[in-house]
Structure 1
Amino acid sequence: MKAPKVMIVGFDAATWDLAKPWVAEGFMPNLARLMAEGARGQLESILPPITPPAWTSFTTGKNPGKHGVFHFMESTPDTYALRYTNASSRRTRTIWKILNQAGIGTGTANIPFTYPPEVLNGYQISGMDTPSEKSAFIHPPELREELERELGPLKLDIRFLGFMNTDERRDQVLDEMRQMDEQWTHVGLYLLKHRPQDVTMLVFMSIDTVQHYFWQFMDKSHFLHDPAAEAKFGDAIRNVYQRLDESLGKLLEYTNDGTTVFVVSDHGGGPVSDRVVYLNRYLGQLGLLCYQQDTNNLLRKTLRTVLRRGYMFLRSNLSSRQKVRLAALLPQLRLKTESFYTSFTSIDWSQTKAYCSEVLASPPSIWINLKGRKPHGIVDDSEYENLRDEIITKISELRDPRTGEPVIKRVLRREKIFHGSFAAEAPDLNLDWWEASHFMTGPAFPMIRMNHR
Structure 2
Amino acid sequence: MSARHLIIGFDGFDLAIVRDLGPGLLPHVHSVMARGAFSAQRSVEPPATLPNWTTFLTGVDPGRHGVFDFTTRHGYDVRFSGGSVREAPSVMSRLDALGLRCACLFFPATYPPEQLANGVFVSGWDAPVAFEADASFVWPPAMHASLVKRFGAQRFDDVDEFDADRPGWHAELPRALEERVGRKRDLAAWLLAGEQWDAFAIYFGESDTAAHYLYGLHDPRSPRHPSEHPGSGARPSGLARVYAALDRALGELLAAAGGEAGPGSVELTIVSDHGSGGSSDSVLYLNRALAEAGLLHFREAGVERQLVGRLKELALTRLSPALRERIFGLFGTALPSALESRARFGAIDFSRTLCFSDELNYMPAVHLNLAGREPGGIVTPTDVPRVRAQIEQALRALRDPLTGAPVVAAVHRREDLFQGPFVERAPDLLLELHLDRGYTYNLMPSASAPPGTGCFRRLAPDEWLGRKGRSLPGSHRPNGFFAAAGPRVSEAGEIDTHIADATATWLARMDVAVPPEFAGRVLYEALREVVGDEGSAVRALPVLPGTSRSSVRSAADEARIEARLRALGYVD
Q: TM-score range by the shorter chain?
A: 0.7 to 0.9
User: Following TM superposition, by how much is the alpha carbon of 1:164 offset from its aligned partner in structure 2, in angstroms?
Assistant: 2.4
State the identity as a percent.
31
* Mapped contact 2:181–2:246 kept (Cα < 8 A): yes
2:388 pairs with 1:392: no
User: Following TM superposition, by how much is the alpha carbon of 1:323 offset from its aligned partner in structure 2, in angstroms?
Assistant: 7.4
2:374 counterpart residue number: 374
Q: Which runs of 5+ in 1 are unaligned?
A: none
Instruction: Supply the RMSD in Å over aligned alpha carbons.
Output: 2.9
Q: Which piece of structure 1 moves more, 6-15 or 151-160?
A: 151-160
**Cα separation, 1, equivalents of 2:299 and 2:397:** 27
Residues 206-225 of structure 1 deviation map (CA, whole Å, 9 limit, x = unaligned)? 11001000111111221221
**Cα separation, 2, equivalents of 1:348 and 1:293:** 9
2:63 pairs with 1:62: no
User: Following TM superposition, by how much is the alpha carbon of 1:426 offset from its aligned partner in structure 2, in angstroms?
Assistant: 0.8
Provide closer, same or farther for how the CA distance between residues 336 and 74 of structure 1 changes in structure 2, counting only shifts above 3 A. Answer: closer
* Mapped contact 1:207–1:240 kept (Cα < 8 A): yes
What does 1:357-436 align with in structure 2 at a 5 Å threshold?
Answer: 357-358=358-359, 363-433=363-433
Q: Which piece of structure 1 moves more, 331-340 or 369-378?
A: 331-340
Provide closer, same or farther for how the CA distance between residues 335 and 425 of structure 1 changes in structure 2, counting only shifts above 3 A. Answer: closer
Residues 374-398 of structure 1 deviation map (CA, whole Å, 9 limit, x = unaligned)? 2332212221112111111111222
Provide closer, same or farther for how the CA distance between residues 272 and 318 of structure 1 changes in structure 2, counting only shifts above 3 A. Answer: farther
2:28 counterpart residue number: 30
User: Following TM superposition, by how much is the alpha carbon of 1:154 offset from its aligned partner in structure 2, in angstroms?
Assistant: 2.6
User: Following TM superposition, by how much is the alpha carbon of 1:189 offset from its aligned partner in structure 2, in angstroms?
Assistant: 0.3
2:181 counterpart residue number: 181
2:101 counterpart residue number: 105
Structure 2: which amino acid aligns with 1:349? Answer: F
2:223 counterpart residue number: 223
Provide closer, same or farther for how the CA distance between residues 317 and 413 of structure 1 changes in structure 2, counting only shifts above 3 A. Answer: farther
Q: Which piece of structure 1 moves more, 88-97 or 170-179?
A: 170-179
**Cα separation, 2, equivalents of 1:379 and 1:322:** 43
Structure 1: which amino acid aligns with 2:53? Answer: W
SS at match of 2:210: helix
Choose from 38, 45, 48 the match for 1:47. 45
What does 1:347-358 align with in structure 2 at a 5 Å threshold?
Answer: 347-358=348-359
1:239 counterpart residue number: 241
Q: Which runs of 5+ in 2 are unaligned?
A: 454-572
1:248 counterpart residue number: 250
Provide closer, same or farther for how the CA distance between residues 15 and 278 of structure 1 changes in structure 2, counting only shifts above 3 A. Answer: same
**Cα separation, 1, equivalents of 2:330 and 2:227:** 42
Provide closer, same or farther for how the CA distance between residues 335 and 31 of structure 1 changes in structure 2, counting only shifts above 3 A. Answer: closer
**Cα separation, 1, equivalents of 2:250 and 2:443:** 36
Provide closer, same or farther for how the CA distance between residues 59 and 407 of structure 1 changes in structure 2, counting only shifts above 3 A. Answer: same
2:125 pairs with 1:128: yes
Structure 1: which amino acid aligns with 2:8? Answer: V
Residues 254-297 of structure 1 deviation map (CA, whole Å, 9 limit, x = unaligned)? 21444201111110001112222212222223332234456x4x
Residues 31-65 of structure 1 deviation map (CA, whole Å, 9 limit, x = unaligned)? 12211221112221111011100000001111111
SS at match of 2:278: coil
The structure showing larger relative contact order (alpha-carbon pairs under 8 Å, at least 6 residues apart) is 2
Provide closer, same or farther for how the CA distance between residues 11 and 322 of structure 1 changes in structure 2, counting only shifts above 3 A. Answer: farther
* Mapped contact 2:4–2:265 kept (Cα < 8 A): yes
User: Following TM superposition, by how much is the alpha carbon of 1:29 offset from its aligned partner in structure 2, in angstroms?
Assistant: 1.1
Normalising to structure 1: TM-score of the pair? 0.88
* Mapped contact 2:407–2:433 kept (Cα < 8 A): no
Provide closer, same or farther for how the CA distance between residues 203 and 223 of structure 1 changes in structure 2, counting only shifts above 3 A. Answer: same
* Mapped contact 1:148–1:154 kept (Cα < 8 A): yes
* Mapped contact 2:7–2:269 kept (Cα < 8 A): yes
**Cα separation, 1, equivalents of 2:341 and 2:400:** 30
User: Following TM superposition, by how much is the alpha carbon of 1:146 offset from its aligned partner in structure 2, in angstroms?
Assistant: 1.6
1:308 counterpart residue number: 309
Provide closer, same or farther for how the CA distance between residues 173 and 438 of structure 1 changes in structure 2, counting only shifts above 3 A. Answer: closer
What does 1:287-326 align with in structure 2 at a 5 Å threshold?
Answer: 287-292=294-299, 296=302, 300=303, 305=306, 307-315=308-316
2:287 pairs with 1:275: no
SS at match of 1:198: strand
SS at match of 1:439: strand
Provide closer, same or farther for how the CA distance between residues 310 and 378 of structure 1 changes in structure 2, counting only shifts above 3 A. Answer: closer
Provide closer, same or farther for how the CA distance between residues 51 and 318 of structure 1 changes in structure 2, counting only shifts above 3 A. Answer: farther
**Cα separation, 2, equivalents of 1:317 and 1:362:** 25
SS at match of 1:272: strand
What does 1:156-171 align with in structure 2 at a 5 Å threshold?
Answer: 156-171=156-171
**Cα separation, 2, equivalents of 1:233 and 1:434:** 31
Structure 2: which amino acid aligns with 1:23? Answer: G
Structure 2: which amino acid aligns with 1:188? Answer: A
SS at match of 1:147: helix
SS at match of 1:9: strand
1:441 counterpart residue number: 443
Structure 1: which amino acid aligns with 2:351? Answer: S
Structure 2: which amino acid aligns with 1:8? Answer: I
* Mapped contact 2:160–2:321 kept (Cα < 8 A): no
User: Following TM superposition, by how much is the alpha carbon of 1:90 offset from its aligned partner in structure 2, in angstroms?
Assistant: 0.7
* Mapped contact 1:291–1:449 kept (Cα < 8 A): no
How many residues are treated as equivalent by the alignment? 438
Residues 128-172 of structure 1 deviation map (CA, whole Å, 9 limit, x = unaligned)? 216332461110011111222222333332333233245522233
SS at match of 2:67: coil
2:18 counterpart residue number: 19
**Cα separation, 1, equivalents of 2:169 and 2:347:** 36
Choose from 77, 90, 114 the match for 1:94. 90
Normalising to structure 2: TM-score of the pair? 0.70
SS at match of 2:276: coil
Residues 53-81 of structure 1 deviation map (CA, whole Å, 9 limit, x = unaligned)? 000000111111111011222113xx321
